[in-house]
Amino acid sequence: MLSNSWVVKADIKFKYYSSVPTFRRRDTAIINFLIYDNKKIYDISSFSKGEVTITFPQGGYLKRPCQKVNINGVDYIQYIFNKDEIVELGVYKVILSFEDNTGRVSLQEILVGFFDTLGTSELAYIELIQDLQNQSDYLESIVNDIIQKDEKGVADGVAKLDSNGQIDISHMPSFLENHMKDSVFKNWVHGLYIDENFVAKYKTKDGGEENVGHPDLSDSLRLFVTVSDEIANLTFSGKGSATVKKYMYGDKTLQDTKVNGTLFTANNFPVDKVGIWSIYYKDDSDKEYIYKFPVGAENLKTPNITIPVSEGEVTVKDDSTYALEIQKWDTGIRDAAYFRTNGNVFADTFIVDTKGTYSVYRKYTNGLEIVKVFEVKASDLITVPPSITLLLTPNNQTWTNTDKTVNVAITEKTTIIDKRYYYSTSDNISIANFRNDSNYGTSMFSNNQNVVINNNGYLYVYAKNKGNLDTIQQISITSIDKVSPTATSSQTQSNGVVTITVNAIDADSGVDRIIKPDSSVASSAKTTYSVTANGDYNFTVYDKAGNRFALKVTVNSIIMTPPVITLTPSTTSWTNQNVTVNISATSQNGISVIKWASGDQSAGYFNAGGTTVTTGYFSVSTNGVYTVYAKDNIGTEAIKTINISNIDKTAPTLSITRTTTSTQVTFNVTASDSESGVYRIVKPDGSIVYSSSTTYIATANGSYLFEAYDNAGNKASKTENVSGLIVNTNKKVTVSGGTMYLMTMSGDLYANGNEEWYKKGNGLWSMSGTSWKDDDTPDKALISSVIKVASNTSRASTWFLTANGDIYVLGSNNKRYTGLTASPITVPTKCPKMSNVKDFVLIGDTIFVKNSSDEWYGWGENSYGELGLGHANIVDTPVKINFVSNIKQITHGATNVLFLTGSGIVYGVGANRYGELGLGHNDQVNTPTQVTSLSNISYLSQNGYCSFFVNTSGQVYTTGLSNSGELGLGNTTQVLTPTLISGVSNVKKITTGSSGVVALTNSNTIYGWGETNAIGLGKPFAPNTTTPKLLSLSNVRDVVSDNNSTVYITNNDEIYASGWNIDNLFANSAYGDEINSITKLNNWTALQ
């Protein structure tokens, strides 16, 4: 049975020639290496690690680790093949290397075969080999045991080896002596031997012989091949005949030869390469065979090699048609084995310089190797001296001021033993100087070498070959010039023109050229140059070698100063008007003419062109370059240019798109200007945005005018018409001084809450707070068409603004400020101080009023300079507020006022005790001061001691006191500088009572923070919330606050409230003194 394990006895010092381990490709394959050293067992007890290198039949390799194992008391190095890595059929090469305490040990390669299927005969042979190996191993162990015990062994029990490395017969046990004396075919091995027909036999007990594993070849077509004169002759025997025959060079598999081999029909074919050849054949029963045979050099024709030698050059030729793979030569008599790793490779010829014996080796691509030995005589060697070539760069026809290079090239077929050069300024050096003195000159390191020469003279080069033949070569160097030329100058003058004459000389290479001050070139040793102005004029003289001499000539005799021109534009800022260019031209000789022209012009242009200037200036209407020309009285001219680039007479482009809902139109406004750029956009409400884009929301039908200005003052305007909006003007609500007011579309005014000082406007003043709480029906006031109401609780007066622009006053009367005589005023009475009023702000006894021209006026107590007049004196008569223009909004706290301009700038004035003005401190401010940290603000709101600023992006900034968290910054810390509130965005309005704050967004949602019941968040959040919370009510159109009461009105005119219900402010006594969640007020909602 075919074993899957082979023992390989590998000797460190000898190549492995024993049987080839053979396996089926998919079987387990194990090799156990038994290591020998010079035929003695090698101790691998100190083995540390091992590795096998496996080369595949088709090339390619891999490396894998192996291990030490002990089998039956014997140490082996074992490698088990990975089945998945054996992908090719055929013979693999395996090299073992390992490390022990002596270092790294490597063995020569062994061959291992892998096949898919094996015929009966192949299996029989392989099993026979394995059996013989096992028998041999067993015999070896017995012999070793017997040798050490037999009386014929030497004293130490070790058998002696003869000169062939075999055990001397005198040391063999006696029972083996007869077997050793038999013929070569009767060498018994533990009862086995191979007869002359190579049949394995064994001896029976009765003395007879039996075959062992003899292959059954009776049904096979057997092949025998002989090779002669490059012809392989085939002889078949056995059963049948060959129907297909193919041959192929190389140790090939059956399949490879079957597919790729050369088909032939005769029983012979040509062979022309040394090595293994493979034959595939198939018999008439379709059984396939592979046969392999070797072809040696003796089987090929030997080429006839001729080796002529002339002048030391050896030429090698032959008469064969074989392709040459490599050829080498060496001195002495050599063989092929030497040349496989040694020798000098050459192509067609090689050079020798010594007589004697030489060998030539030629290997052909067919594997044939031939060595030819020949003699070289003295007459075959070189008989002429070396050849010397000298090349000068640059040559003597080219002058240079740098070193020159001589390329020395010595050519010789044999070895140059002496090469030197010598430089001299004389030409009397001969070959004798070099022959007589071996140190004469400078030794050369190469047969091709550059020698640098730095002066004129002669270079001599000497060379001698191995045959003591020498020569000398000389070259002259005559064109090096490293000395600069010289030059002198002289001057003559006529009519204001100085002529400079330059004379140059050079004693070596000669003058090549003179470069004049204007960079023009004179190709001579003398030149002239005319100038019309004093100064230094630089000439450069070059000789033909490139040396340079600089000559500076100073001219100071000309009185010819050109006019000085100064140009000053009337403005350098952007303008939409013409620009005036003022001209100042001066000269010591006086000015005779001044001209100007557009474009960058030369002085010659003005001989016939240009516009004469008589007034000292000229005016231009377009941007561009302009040239001014001036000439003095002696004809000296000057020009100067000016670039005008600040004229822009083109209005910007205004683009407006809109987004429309049922209740509002949002205009998206974009302005562009390709010249001076967009400066500002003015919205229909007069507010200004210093940007190229903005938005504007219209909630009423009508015409809306937008204007855009560029930086030059050009204006573009565009009117947008809005119609079809559902305008929610039927209800407007406000809370002031503890009283709630509702203005209806019909012009009626309803009120409820605190009745002191006739605040309800119904002519009644009830001093009993009980009656107020019992009153659940809002009262109708005695005034109509009211669009705004505000109360001053400290002075107990209420002010009303009507739709026709009149102001009415009610309650306590400060006659200085109202202009009325009654006291108190029990019914709303018209104030004579102002008319045509669009808006008003009531701050204690200080009043701000905006007229129909959008101008603000103020008068009153002015106790902390809130009128912005620079003082805190009482003002009885309305005074225009003009510290800043375009005021859009005015708000107030307890002791301060904020002003918002249409351009988004904020100013503040007042006590500022908690930093509510946002100026970074809490010092009193008596003059309106800009809050510089803010810009693009669109809305302001204040309560007693904190302020809120909404910018055009809907972000909210805050500053001031935060006892109840009303700043919305997550804490109760006072802030002196406007700080962004996170958690709320897209805001358009902020309203704040005493401590509760509500923000209304553009999406009609509301957020609240601060005192919880004021914003409808109830008791669970008590006492307050310091960050914005989204409130439950949606679709909110407006929200107002006073003290801790908040009122909301939705887009469908429903009214809601939260917070304090003091004095039954919300007209529903069932609520008690406060409402802790946002609650609909049905009594108020029902009013139309």
Per-residue pLDDT tens digits for 203-261: 554 556 655 433 444 567 888 888 988 899 999 988 889 999 999 998 888 999 999 99
* CA atoms of 442 and 449, how far apart (whole Å): 12
Kindly indicate the confidence band of residue 857, based on its pLDDT and cuts at 50, 70 and 90: very high
Per the rule left: phi > 0, alpha: psi between -120 and 50, beta: everything else, 738 is: left
More confident call, 629 vs 1020: 629
Judge whether residue 122 has pLDDT over 80: no
Which residues make Cβ contacts (< 8 Å) with residue 321, sequence separation at least 6? none
Residue 398 in domain: yes
At 1063 the pLDDT is 78
Identify whether residues 226 and 339 lie together within a single domain: no
Burial of 139 (C-beta count, 10 Å sphere; 0-12/13-18/19+) = middle
Identify whether residues 317 and 376 lie together within a single domain: yes
* Segment (H or E) for 1023: none
More confident call, 700 vs 501: 501
Please say which residue of 625, 644, 663 terminates a domain. 644
More confident call, 878 vs 155: 878
Identify whether residues 843 and 974 lie together within a single domain: yes
Judge whether residue 752 has pLDDT over 90: no
- Percentage of the chain beyond pLDDT 70 is 86
The CATH number given to whatever domain includes residue 849 is 2.130.10.30
**Interior/surface letters 463-491, b for 16+ CB within 10 angstroms, e for the rest:** bbbbbeebbbbebebebbbbebbebebee
More confident call, 803 vs 898: 898
pLDDT in tens, 582-603: 999 998 767 889 999 999 999 9
* CA atoms of 350 and 328, how far apart (whole Å): 10
Among residues 377, 394, 461, 471, which one has the least CA distance to residue 424? 461
Tokens of 279: 């034959």
pLDDT in tens, 1007-1042: 999 988 888 787 645 678 899 999 999 999 999 998
Paired with 364 in beta bridges are 324
* CA atoms of 273 and 226, how far apart (whole Å): 15
Residue 1001 in domain: no
pLDDT in tens, 152-205: 334 344 444 455 444 444 544 443 433 333 333 334 433 444 444 444 454 554
The sheet with strand 702-710 has its strands ordered as 688-689, 678-682, 702-710, 715-722
At 134 the pLDDT is 57
Residue 12 in domain: yes
Kindly indicate the confidence band of residue 605, based on its pLDDT and cuts at 50, 70 and 90: very high
Query: Mean pLDDT throughout 681-702?
Result: 88
Query: Mean pLDDT throughout 350-367?
Result: 90
Please say which residue of 266, 298, 330 terminates a domain. 298
In contact, 793 and 944? CB cutoff 8 Å: no
Q: Pairing between strand 688-689 and 678-682?
A: antiparallel
Tokens 């030539």 -> residue: 360
* CA atoms of 841 and 678, how far apart (whole Å): 34
Tokens of 331: 């001195």
Residue 976 in domain: yes
Query: Mean pLDDT throughout 474-498?
Result: 88
pLDDT in tens, 958-998: 999 998 899 999 999 999 999 999 999 999 999 998 888 99
More confident call, 770 vs 366: 366
Name residue 481's amino acid. D
Give the domain range for residue 924. Answer: 833-981
In contact, 446 and 411? CB cutoff 8 Å: no
Query: Mean pLDDT throughout 410-434?
Result: 90
* CA atoms of 1056 and 1066, how far apart (whole Å): 9
* CA atoms of 695 and 175, how far apart (whole Å): 123
- The total of other beta-carbon atoms located within 10 Å of residue 1005's CB is 18
Judge whether residue 98 has pLDDT over 70: yes
More confident call, 510 vs 797: 510
The CATH number given to whatever domain includes residue 668 is 2.60.40.10
Identify whether residues 638 and 705 lie together within a single domain: no
Sign of CA dihedral 13, 18, 23, 25: positive
* CA atoms of 201 and 181, how far apart (whole Å): 18
At 201 the pLDDT is 53
DSSP 3-state percent helix, strand, coil across the chain (nearest 5): 10, 50, 40
Identify whether residues 419 and 463 lie together within a single domain: yes
* CA atoms of 246 and 254, how far apart (whole Å): 10
* CA atoms of 744 and 731, how far apart (whole Å): 5
Judge whether residue 769 has pLDDT over 50: no
At 1053 the pLDDT is 85
What's the mean pLDDT when you consider all of the chain?
84
* Lowest-confidence region among 223-227, 472-476, 615-619: 223-227
Identify whether residues 492 and 461 lie together within a single domain: no
Q: Which of 12-26, 135-149, 268-282, 568-582 has the highest mean pLDDT?
A: 568-582
Identify whether residues 359 and 260 lie together within a single domain: no
More confident call, 98 vs 149: 98
Please give the angle made by the CA atoms of 938, 943 and 948, to the nearest 5 degrees: 30
The CATH number given to whatever domain includes residue 452 is 2.60.40
Kindly indicate the confidence band of residue 772, based on its pLDDT and cuts at 50, 70 and 90: very low
Tokens of 446: 């190469």
Answer whether the bond into residue 778 is a cis peptide, omega within 30°.
no
Beta-strand runs (E) in 88-141? 90-100, 103-106, 110-115
Burial of 614 (C-beta count, 10 Å sphere; 0-12/13-18/19+) = exposed
Please give the angle made by the CA atoms of 732, 733 and 739, to the nearest 5 degrees: 150
Residue 135 in domain: no
Tokens of 451: 């020698």
Q: What is the 3-state secondary structure (H, E, C) of 349-382?
A: EEECCCCEEEEEEEEECCCCEEEEEEEECHHHCC
* CA atoms of 170 and 556, how far apart (whole Å): 128
At 361 the pLDDT is 96
Identify whether residues 37 and 25 lie together within a single domain: yes
Q: What values do phi and psi take at 591, rounded to 5?
A: -100, 130
* Lowest-confidence region among 714-718, 812-816, 877-881: 812-816
pLDDT in tens, 787-837: 888 887 565 788 889 888 899 988 877 777 788 887 788 888 898 888 889
Burial of 867 (C-beta count, 10 Å sphere; 0-12/13-18/19+) = buried
* CA atoms of 408 and 317, how far apart (whole Å): 35
Identify whether residues 375 and 391 lie together within a single domain: no
Per the rule left: phi > 0, alpha: psi between -120 and 50, beta: everything else, 88 is: beta
Please say which residue of 298, 327, 353 terminates a domain. 298
* Total number of domains constituting the chain: 8
Kindly indicate the confidence band of residue 566, based on its pLDDT and cuts at 50, 70 and 90: very high
Query: Mean pLDDT throughout 842-864?
Result: 88
Tokens of 563: 């006019």
Paired with 209 in beta bridges are 203
* Lowest-confidence region among 36-40, 221-225, 323-327, 729-733: 729-733
Which residues make Cβ contacts (< 8 Å) with residue 751, sequence separation at least 6? 739, 740, 741, 742, 759, 760, 761, 762, 778, 779, 781
Residue 169 in domain: no
Residue 1008 in domain: no
Residue 892 in domain: yes
Identify whether residues 891 and 938 lie together within a single domain: yes
Q: What values do phi and psi take at 870, rounded to 5?
A: 85, 5
Torsion, CA 178, CA 183, CA 184, CA 185, rounded to 10: -100
Q: Pairing between strand 946-951 and 956-960?
A: antiparallel
In contact, 327 and 361? CB cutoff 8 Å: yes
Identify whether residues 544 and 577 lie together within a single domain: no
* Cα-based distances in Å from 712 to 618, 635, 654, 684, 817: 21, 42, 16, 22, 45
Identify whether residues 948 and 857 lie together within a single domain: yes
pTM: 0.42
- The total of other beta-carbon atoms located within 10 Å of residue 783's CB is 20
